[in-house]
Structure 1
Amino acid sequence: MRRLLAGSVAVSALALAGNAQASGECGSTAAGWNAPNGAVVFDRGPGPIRDVLDAVGEYRTHSMLSHGPGAGVTHATMKNPDQTPWPTVCSTPVNSGQLRYGYPGLEQVNQGGIYMYMFGDGSGPDWTGWQQGDPTHAAIIGDSLWYNHPFVSDLSRGDSSQYVDRPVRNGYRVNYSLFQYRDLETAAQIPGDAANNGIVCSTFMAYAHSYAGRGEVTPHTYSHAQIANGSNSLYTGIYNECRSSLGWFQNAALTVACPFSNVCGNAGNQVANCMSANNCESSDGRHWKAVRDDPNATATSISPDRIGGWGVHPINNTVWGPDYTHQLQWNSGGNVYGCWL
């Protein structure tokens, strides 16, 4: 997601979910990717999630489950939250419900949909790759999610003639929840549960691993110093992206519309509050700063790097970890139209 806010005062701020896009919800790809069934596909894209992961010394920003070359994809992501209407935008810029319950969340799309997700804005991620590990065990993971897991079908918001399948957990659609980066709770377990009935890309991959009977993926605990750095980076990333996107509006429309409000600061506070304290409604920076300044505060989660067994993370924690990274290529046959939103 590249744009967090947009509208009358042109406030924008970007990519909470790794690589979700502001445009290009539907389209076609002339070829599908080469990732085998059950492989995990990684990428590194711009945005505040990257700011957070960079701050804790990690590289990959998004992870997806491939169901084979040119076939479907299961992953968790979210669209841009809407801007709140004037005058609320001055004090609470982001739609708090959409920020808390990220849509579409957990979804299954075809190659057209995932291509538009990754490249639909005309740029795309800085880096991509895939890992398979043991082919037999990886295929069991891919097949279990594709053939056995319950799901519902929603009409695409980009093209009402298309459907987007959404796997359900405990009978409900699974949202994208920023709080997963602070505490994954039992989201990676079976049946699993978490605040906001939420999940993120990498906790979903751990859930898929468990669902297929390949074992539980252990989480990682990040130190207080790391989460303090991550919190500061998240706030700064949102604030800076907001200001840079405003351009000349900074001294024109925004100043006129909200002369006594730091709208970009409020946006940064609101997103940081949501991730660190699961408080997505308030733009009062005291909430995330209380976590940042508490020497006993830590975070326990599963990141894309942990799924792949990179950095400080053990390679034997997942089926995929012992593998090296293969180049992601779009070279399987077929022209496929689809939507990710």
Structure 2
Amino acid sequence: MRRVLAGCLAVSALGASLPAAASECGYTAAGWNAPNGAVVFSRSNDGPIRNVIDAIGEFRTHSMLSHGPTGGVTHATMKDPAQNNWPTVCGTPLVASQLQYGYPGLEQVNQGGIYHYLYDANGHGPDWTAWQLGDPAGAARIANSLWFNHPYVSDVSRVDGSQRIDRPLWNGSRVPYSLFQYRDLESAHEVPGSAANNGMVCSTFLAYAHVYAGKGAVSAYTYPHEVTANAANSVHWGVHGQCKESLGWFENVALNVICPVFWNVCTNAGNQVANCMSANRCDTSTSVIWREVRDDPNATATSISPDRIGGWGVHPSNVTLWASDYSHQLQWNSGGNVYGCWQ
């Protein structure tokens, strides 16, 4: 569940486009060493998802399904949502539809694509990466079921139209990245299953893949109210801080400069993202919605995190077939020179 630095977040009032902060396409000189069926984990160095994971006392922020050292990768992610045009941006900073239905969502990319998802044009990437396999035969069955048997639609990269990216389908439709999954995964981890926005995040997708391949249901975990409230506060203030510093989803765009001070634009940004994650209300920057969740002593969150997929912390080592394994260092050491895109 890595927060992606996906590139230009230009506000029309600035009158200029800004250079991309990440590399959406490019080459990798080698494939990774994660076997077919392994789950690859990473820990991002900042962003709203890192805020949530830290607040709930866990470590891993993103998880991906490997289809082998020279194969593809299936994962769910989202690029930075665009900002609204001025003056709307001052009251509702982010485009609600992009925040609610994160693009690209569930996708299958090659080694070039996943390398440039993890590492930007300057070679900067996550703080930590590793993979787990557990039961090799069972893990391979999960990967092969998703690669060979699951319905999908073929698409092309928005950055380089020559590059194919497959989109697995769920309930007959594409699967966006849904921030509300952090509050309530509903039945995304079941077959047939359903969820708000027909959405998943990286780890709820892996739980779905586990049961889809016949390897058993992955039970969800309910976080108590105090942890849920802490996560809501962390998301709000984390986004607020990045906005103030023109970082993360607001990189190089000084909203606190172009918007009048009475708009409290960075507070609005924090409210909007917290509302989206806590109540699936991505179209408003009122503080009432997310604070109602934070202040309700009966409010909890039920989901499946990357740490649960891997069996770490409070999560048992038999919750998935990957969880019995330890963390292996991720290396890019197989032969090849592969070009690809992740969006």
With the length of structure 2 as denominator, give the TM-score of the two structures. Answer: 0.92
In structure 1, the gaps of 5 or more residues are 11-20
Name the counterpart of 1:338: 340
1:22–1:79: 8 Å Cα contact kept in structure 2?
A: no
1:9–1:249: 8 Å Cα contact kept in structure 2?
A: no
Q: Secondary structure at the match of 1:32?
A: coil
Name the counterpart of 1:24: 23
Q: Secondary structure at the match of 2:328?
A: coil
Q: Secondary structure at the match of 1:130?
A: strand
Name the counterpart of 2:69: 69
Name the counterpart of 1:50: 50
Q: Secondary structure at the match of 2:329?
A: coil
Cα gap change, 1:3/1:228 in structure 2, threshold over 3 Å: closer, same or farther? Answer: farther
Aligned-pair Cα RMSD in Å: 1.8
Superposition deviation, residue 162 in structure 1:
1.1
Rounded Cα–Cα distance in structure 2 between residues aligned with 1:222 and 1:209: 22
In structure 2, the gaps of 5 or more residues are 15-19
Q: Secondary structure at the match of 1:112?
A: helix
**Larger displacement relative to structure 2 (119-128 or 176-185):** 119-128
**Which amino acid in the other structure matches residue 311 of structure 1?**
G
**Deviation string for 1:252-306 (max 9, x for gaps)?**
x744543421111111100000000100000001100000000000000000000
Q: After the TM superposition, which residues 177-326 of structure 1 pair with which residues of structure 2 at under 5 Å, given as runs?
A: 177-245=178-246, 254-326=256-328
Cα gap change, 1:121/1:265 in structure 2, threshold over 3 Å: closer, same or farther? Answer: farther
Rounded Cα–Cα distance in structure 2 between residues aligned with 1:146 and 1:216: 20
Rounded Cα–Cα distance in structure 2 between residues aligned with 1:256 and 1:171: 43
Superposition deviation, residue 191 in structure 1:
1.5
2:49–2:61: 8 Å Cα contact kept in structure 1?
A: yes
Rounded Cα–Cα distance in structure 2 between residues aligned with 1:315 and 1:248: 42
**Deviation string for 1:49-90 (max 9, x for gaps)?**
111111111000000000011210000001111110111001
**Deviation string for 1:94-146 (max 9, x for gaps)?**
00000000011000000000000000243100000000001110110110001
2:256–2:266: 8 Å Cα contact kept in structure 1?
A: no
**Deviation string for 1:219-266 (max 9, x for gaps)?**
00000000111011101110111111279986xx74454342111111
Superposition deviation, residue 336 in structure 1:
0.4
**Which amino acid in the other structure matches residue 185 of structure 2?**
L
**Which amino acid in the other structure matches residue 208 of structure 2?**
Y
With the length of structure 1 as denominator, give the TM-score of the two structures. Answer: 0.93
Q: Secondary structure at the match of 1:41?
A: strand
Cα gap change, 1:110/1:248 in structure 2, threshold over 3 Å: closer, same or farther? Answer: closer
Superposition deviation, residue 153 in structure 1:
1.1
Superposition deviation, residue 9 in structure 1:
6.3
Matched, 1:136 2:142: no
Superposition deviation, residue 47 in structure 1:
1.2
Rounded Cα–Cα distance in structure 2 between residues aligned with 1:256 and 1:315: 50
Cα gap change, 1:74/1:202 in structure 2, threshold over 3 Å: closer, same or farther? Answer: same
Name the counterpart of 2:39: 40
Rounded Cα–Cα distance in structure 2 between residues aligned with 1:237 and 1:106: 25
**Which amino acid in the other structure matches residue 28 of structure 1?**
Y
**Which amino acid in the other structure matches residue 34 of structure 1?**
N
Decide which of 324, 327, 330 is 2:329's aligned counterpart. Answer: 327
Cα gap change, 1:6/1:292 in structure 2, threshold over 3 Å: closer, same or farther? Answer: farther
Rounded Cα–Cα distance in structure 2 between residues aligned with 1:135 and 1:248: 45
Rounded Cα–Cα distance in structure 2 between residues aligned with 1:137 and 1:38: 8
Rounded Cα–Cα distance in structure 1 between residues aligned with 2:244 and 2:114: 30
- Count of matched residue positions in the alignment of Structure 1 and Structure 2: 329
1:66–1:74: 8 Å Cα contact kept in structure 2?
A: yes
Name the counterpart of 1:172: 173
Superposition deviation, residue 23 in structure 1:
2.5
Matched, 1:152 2:156: no
Rounded Cα–Cα distance in structure 2 between residues aligned with 1:325 and 1:109: 23
1:33–1:70: 8 Å Cα contact kept in structure 2?
A: yes
1:56–1:230: 8 Å Cα contact kept in structure 2?
A: yes
Q: Secondary structure at the match of 2:267?
A: helix
Rounded Cα–Cα distance in structure 1 between residues aligned with 2:28 and 2:76: 21
2:11–2:253: 8 Å Cα contact kept in structure 1?
A: no
Q: Secondary structure at the match of 1:330?
A: coil
